[in-house]
Chains A and B, each alone.
Chain A
Amino acid sequence: MRECRRLINAPRYLILLTLGAVLTFVIFATMTNKGQPQRLPVGVVDLDGSYLSRRICHELDATSGVKVHAVYNNHMEARRAMQRGEIYAFYEIPAGTYNNVLQFKAPHFVLYNNAAYLLAGTLCYKQLATMGMLAAGAVQREVLRKKGFDEEQIMGLIQPVAFETRNISNPWINYGIYLMTTLIPAVMAFIALMHTGYAIATERRQKSVKRWMQKANGNALYALLGKMIPYTAWYTLLAIIANLIMFGFMGFPMMGSWLLMVVSTILLIFAAQCAGAFISSCINDPSLSMSVCTLYSAMSFSLSGFSYPIESMPPLFQSFCWLYPIRHYFLNYREIAIYGNGFGHCWVNFAALLSFGLLLLIGAFMLNWQTAKKTAQ
């Protein structure tokens, strides 16, 4: 209750952090609303200057994924443009290509792509490689037609085996779905953690731990819980609204039950707060405890495993990731939203999130012990 009053008296940080969370959401939502980056600039080094090479240029430009930024005269120019970041990939069409094609001499096309920008480079590569395959396929088809094969025979010859790809629960390969579903709750949890830590550190800084304890009749656990609950309520509300917007309004795939997702969100915020409360009740120095909070949570985005899978990290880090609530949330999200699994599949993650409550108990114990020591002195 005391914390509520304090919050209402000084709403600056709450407003600031809420604004920050909203800003984060808006930035991510507006940037990724197209799903994949469109019209990425690529280049073509056209040393041939023939009908064929011009046509490849035009067809590249006509795809939705890339646009031909410029046609370069030589390799060096294109390379410099790539180093300046003007283009993400370029195609080099050697001199005499058209002639060689006509004479069955198999000219070499070279595709350079810049993988230092992973997403942009990969997408450009995909587009250009497809174009290369199509060009080769078109030549093949022309030749076979002249030889008198019919369409089905030609397809059988050109493409004897093909993939039919089904991308489960993200058929558009929408990058926003990867990013936002985990990042936004992660940011909420991060903020909740820091704010809880901050609330406790402020008590220490203002040397009012004693009064705070008295309010809770000397029970450190109640004191901590009382401090946490206003934040839990507020940030859970924010996170649930964010989830509603994402899975409802923005139409991100959601296979499983809403109830489980909501429970998972509440537990995520709670677990993050427990971690924050634990750190700041164990460390006496307020600014040091805040730095430890920061250092701890700065790794949470990586160790949630949503961008780079945990299984591919060295074993040491695989065990670390259990220390992060967001990891369990991410696993939950995968089970519930992507596979539509029930509670039977993901109870382990719920249990793990709940077990962060233990940290709270330890934190309360530490706090009790510290106040006892102080009164003894």
Chain B
Amino acid sequence: MNQLIIDLYDIWEVLSAEVRRVFSDSTVLLIFFIAPLLYPLIFCCMYRTENVQDLPVAVVDEAVCDASKRFIHKLDATPEITVTYKCCNMSEAEELLKANKIHAIFYVPKDFSQRIATLRTAHIGVFADMSSFYYYKAALLGSNAVLIDEMHTIELQRYGMEGLTGEAARVQMQPIVNEEITAFNPTGGYGSFFLPALLVLVIHQTLFLGICLLGGETRENRRALQIIPARLRIRSIHRVTLGRSLCYILIYTPICVISMWFIPRWFQLPQLGNLYEIMIFLLPFLLAVIFFAMTMGNIFVRQKLSPMLCFAFFSLVLFFLTGMVWPQASMPKFWLWFSYIFPSTPGVQGFIKVSSMGASMADVSHEYLTLWIQAGIYFITATFSLLLIKKFKFYNAR
């Protein structure tokens, strides 16, 4: 019993020292408090529109007939596409494309009306600008909707000519009806896909950077051992790790509530999970990140500024490794295993499932377990690396 009280007291001492350290460093304050709240806000505003609308396109209508005009009108009427130019020939349209004024060309060839009249398949050329995935997507979505609609119109006419009308013609036209339901991101928008992953990553990166900075500073000032209460024996050094992590948990819990729960609500991102489950899921995530950062900080960081340098490629690589962009199912096995070094991978995957997709805790048990295992391993490594520092007193071997 007595031992427990001593334990708790040590942890309390480290905790309060750490809180003081955090609040006395303006850089760390910026990273801990401003960045994780500011970034989600900025990015949410940035991607509010979700999808490309009114993509400017040009039409080259060489057929000039009833059907081609109807097609162009329908094209213009879609939310995705606006017909901004009507060109006489292809070279004119190509110039516009090169000058970046339009992002797709629809070309109706001369024989279009003839082919329609002779009941054959008529073709329309689509030249899509591939410089951005979203131009392509908007052009494709808009034009496909029109194409299907137009197909049905003409089809019904033709069946009519063959003596098939009414319900019979409709069934012949659509012997199987395809319904499409887009789940968990109804508009298929970029924001709803990108932002939830970003929220997790921002927490991961700011926490990581902040802890490394604090660690680096003590190393640089040769005060590494001051964070360890003097009378603490080597065997109880884990209390330092625990105390410090408790401090970060305390700071990050309210930040997580705001950025992972309230911000998605305000910006109407898909949110099917409830706060309780999200927080339960985030607990091992935070722990894993904290211990991971401490391990890295103890082993690699000797100067305060250096962690920021590596930040550059790190964030991007992490985002890519989470499997949000490139699905995990078709990732090379080596990178899949490599990605499990970082808490961000199960963190992002799990958060998306719990929050955006409304999965229950049982559904994310794989990610949840991974996070706890990571937290456990990094806790041990963090404690041991601190032990090494204490033992060999190598604070700043420059």
Contact = CB atoms under 8 A, between A and B. Distances in A.
Q: Give the one of A105, A136, A291 with max B CB within 10 A.
A: A291
Contacts of B363: 80, 83-84
B16 interface: no
B234 interface: no
Contacts of B349: 85
A260 interface: no
Nearest to A89: B183
Interface string A102-115: 00111111111111
Contacts of B268: none
Interface in A297-318: 297-299, 301-302, 305-309, 311-314, 316-317
B389 interface: no
Interface in A26-53: 27-28, 30-32, 34, 37-41
A9 B259 CA distance: 44
B49 interface: yes
A116 B327 CA distance: 11
Interface stretch (A14-22, A220-228, A263-271, A359-367): A14-22
B305 A106 contact: no
A57 B53 CA distance: 36
Nearest to B272: A83
Contact of A156 (B121, B183, B328, B366): B121
A106 B27 contact: no
Contacts of B325: 118-119, 179
Contact of B364 (A84, A291, A316): A84
B305 A201 contact: yes
A311 B168 CA distance: 46
A161 B125 CA distance: 11
A120 B120 CA distance: 36
Contact of B313 (A21, A107, A153, A175): A21
A293 to B, nearest CB: 7
Interface in A183-226: 183, 187, 190-191, 193-195, 198, 201-202, 205
Interface in B102-138: 116, 119-137
Q: How large is the interface on A (under 10, 10 to 19, 20 to 34, 35 or more residues)?
A: 35 or more
Contacts of A308: 47, 132, 134, 190, 194
A262 B48 CA distance: 35
Contacts of B128: 165-168
A166 B106 CA distance: 10
Interface stretch (B223-231, B241-249, B278-286, B353-361): B353-361
Interface centre among B49, B116, B174, B305 (most CB of A within 10 A): B305
A115 to B, nearest CB: 4
Contacts of A156: 119-121, 158
Nearest to B146: A161
B335 interface: yes
Nearest to B193: A118
B97 interface: yes
Q: Name the prevailing secondary structure of the A interface residues.
A: helix
B159 A290 contact: no
Interface residues of B, number: 114
A16 B312 CA distance: 12
B45 interface: yes
Contacts of A286: 305
A107 B176 CA distance: 5
A338 interface: yes
B321 interface: yes
Contacts of A334: 100, 131
Given A133-B178, A312-B53, A17 B132 contact: no
Interface string A93-130: 00001000100111111111111111111100100010
Contacts of A168: 97, 127-130
Contacts of B330: 34, 37-40
A63 interface: no
B132 A294 contact: no
A13 B131 contact: no
20 contacts: A88-B329, A104-B172, A108-B176, A115-B192, A118-B188, A119-B327, A129-B180, A132-B178, A157-B158, A160-B150, A162-B122, A163-B123, A163-B144, A168-B127, A170-B130, A173-B130, A187-B316, A287-B305, A306-B132, A312-B51
Interface of B: 26-27, 30-31, 35, 39, 42-43, 45-49, 51-53, 71, 97-100, 116, 119-137, 143-144, 147, 150-151, 154-155, 158-159, 162, 168, 170-186, 188, 190, 192-194, 196, 209, 213, 270, 304-306, 308-317, 320-321, 324-332, 335, 349, 352-353, 356-360, 363-364, 366
Given A109-B176, A116-B357, A183-B316, 17 more contacts: A16-B309, A38-B330, A84-B366, A118-B193, A119-B325, A132-B176, A136-B174, A163-B144, A190-B312, A202-B305, A205-B304, A286-B305, A287-B27, A290-B27, A299-B42, A316-B45, A335-B100
Interface of A: 13, 16-17, 20-21, 23-24, 27-28, 30-32, 34, 37-41, 80, 82-85, 88, 97, 101, 104-122, 125, 129, 132-133, 135-136, 139-140, 143-144, 152-153, 155-170, 173, 175, 177-179, 183, 187, 190-191, 193-195, 198, 201-202, 205, 285-288, 290-291, 293-295, 297-299, 301-302, 305-309, 311-314, 316-317, 334-335, 338-339, 341, 345
The 6 A-B residue pairs with the shortest CB-CB distance in the complex, in nearest-first order = A115-B185, A170-B130, A120-B327, A37-B330, A160-B154, A83-B359
